[in-house]
Amino acid sequence: MSTQVVTKPQVSYLTQLLDRVRESQPTIDRPWLAQLRDRAEAWTRELAIPTTRDEDWRFTDLSPLLELDFKTAEAIELPENMASELTLPETKDTRLVFVNGVFSKARSSVKGLPEGAIVGNLGDPRLEDLKSYLGQQPGSQEVFTALNTASLTDAAIVWIPKGKIVETPIQLLFVSAPQETPTISQSRCLVVAEANSSVTFVQQFVSTTIGCPDAGNRPYLTNAVTEIFVGDNAEVNHTYLQREGGAAFHIAKTAVSQAKDSRYTCNAIGLGAKLSRHNLEVFQTGTGTQTTLDGLAMLSGEQTADTHSAIVLDRPHGSADQLHKCIIDGKAHAVFNGRIFVSKAAQMTNANQLNQNLLLSPKGRVNTKPQLEIIADNVKCSHGATVSQLEADEVFYLQSRGLDKTQSENLLVDAFAFDILQRLPIASLRKMLSQCVSCRTYTA
């Protein structure tokens, strides 16, 4: 565990940011939620924005944040045609839309769900037992998570009752509309899959130019937190797609708790934002759990993408497989820190972790740190990392078959990303992202 180095400017900045956010928010009429927010606010006021002197942030410089005075983003209605363009064909009847962190009932549509399944927001009267889940995952005192909770007014909720199988994918669409001044939106997502249930959902972050033609050059901050609870023998397939604007800061936390015999898969794809950070933490709390983490970061220009993951195996007969790939062009910077912890109680477990990086430019940078921490003595575990460039002889071979140099390079890049993209559960998403890779159009 790293020790955060606190300085006065960092503390005052965070306090002022919290004050600006809380000033513009409505009063909460749920006592338990108000208590949750107040507790998180107390934590936040004791914390500070991390610096490169903090171990977990030593390769990711957040000082550009300190130069901007973010205010809460205004609520904006998304035009119907734009909502349709951002909707995946497979999810046209099962989607929730949030614009600048505010739920858009008019652009959301939930049809054809099995009886008892709930896909909605905090205002849904059918949701009663949220107190046992919202804000209850480990790591709630991390600075950006605490800031999100202290500012919590709404959330996207996916609740699948016992034994229910949701055949149709669900899309959770979070749209940011940059404004003339820097803004912050803080999305929250809670997914509860009870025993013997199954659900597939896509969590998508995008930007739009509503009300600001120069939106691509306007900085904004998205601070997102997702909590997922996977019950006994339940299955959750989660796709996380980040395509923020080119001047955006995107910081996200995904915390997952898995019960006995459960299966969780995360397909994390990062393309946009000037600076992005995804903290992905999975806790295996039951025997026989299966965790699969697939990731792909595609960077160009001067982008920075930081992925920090942690898988905690704490029961016997668990398994974890992680493959994370980065494609780095221009002066971009990729960071990967993956930690797998196998406790003494996690006997007869299997864990594999691999980080592969493809550098397309001599000015691109990669910092990678896969790590295993094993206390158990009856396990099978492996980890590794590679950093490579396009092979000149492979490019020459393709050119000898009639392709030009650009086509040859694009084909090899496409092949590098293929085994990640082919695992995506939604066909239209696979096709769209394959085109992004081939054309190297990474940012939104």
* DSSP label of 131: G
Q: In Å, how far are 75, 151, 232 from 39, measured between CA atoms? A: 26, 11, 30
Positive or negative, the CA dihedral 226, 193, 230, 242 is negative
Question: What CA–CA distance (Å, rounded) separates 172 from 201?
Answer: 7
Question: What CA–CA distance (Å, rounded) separates 336 from 152?
Answer: 29
pTM of the model: 0.93
Q: In Å, how far are 126, 178, 237, 282, 310 from 321, measured between CA atoms? A: 36, 37, 14, 12, 12
Question: What CA–CA distance (Å, rounded) separates 298 from 416?
Answer: 11
pLDDT of amino acid 218:
87
H helical segments located in 121-171: 143-150
pLDDT of amino acid 219:
93
Amino acid found at 159:
W
* DSSP label of 62: -
pLDDT of amino acid 10:
64
pLDDT of amino acid 408:
87
Q: Give the count of beta carbons closer than 10 Å to the beta carbon of residue 324.
A: 25
> Mean pLDDT, consecutive 10-residue segments, the chain of 444 residues?
50 87 75 90 92 94 92 87 90 94 92 91 81 91 95 94 96 92 94 98 91 74 97 98 94 98 97 96 96 96 96 96 96 96 94 96 94 92 93 87 86 91 93 78 44
Question: What CA–CA distance (Å, rounded) separates 308 from 56?
Answer: 8
pLDDT of amino acid 51:
93
**Of residues 167, 285, 294, the one with CA closest to residue 228:** 285
Give the end-to-end CA distance of the chain in Å, rounded to a whole number. Answer: 35
pLDDT of amino acid 3:
47
CA 25 to chain centre: 25
